[in-house]
């Protein structure tokens, strides 16, 4: 199953959208500070 999500950045107050097939993993990555940056193919820590 595919999930779509919308995140609000606390850093710049912009909305970011995405999709994933593992929502729990994506939430863990977000809480750990990892984001998949736009135009990048790797996880970056912010």
Mean pLDDT of 25-46: 63
pTM: 0.56
HSE-CB for 1 with a 13 A CA cutoff = 3
Tell me the per-residue pLDDT of 6-23, one tens digit each, with 9 for 90 and over.
888 888 888 888 899 999
DSSP string for 1-46: --EEEEEE-TTT--EEEEEES-HHHHHHHHHTTEEE-TT-SSEEE-
Please tell me the distance from the alpha carbon of residue 26 to that of residue 35, in angstroms, as a whole number.
9
Query: Is 50 exceeded by the pLDDT of residue 40?
Result: no
What is the percent of the chain with per-residue pLDDT over 70, rounded to a whole number? 72
Please tell me the distance from the alpha carbon of residue 13 to that of residue 22, in angstroms, as a whole number.
25
Confidence of residue 28 (pLDDT cuts 50, 70, 90): confident
pLDDT (0 to 100) of residue 42: 44
């Amino acid at each position: 199953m595919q999930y779509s999500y919308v995140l609000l950045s606390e850093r710049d107050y912009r909305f970011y959208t995405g999709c994933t097939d593992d929502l729990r993993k994506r939430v863990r990555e977000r809480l750990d500070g990892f984001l998949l940056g736009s135009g990048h193919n790797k996880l970056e820590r912010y």
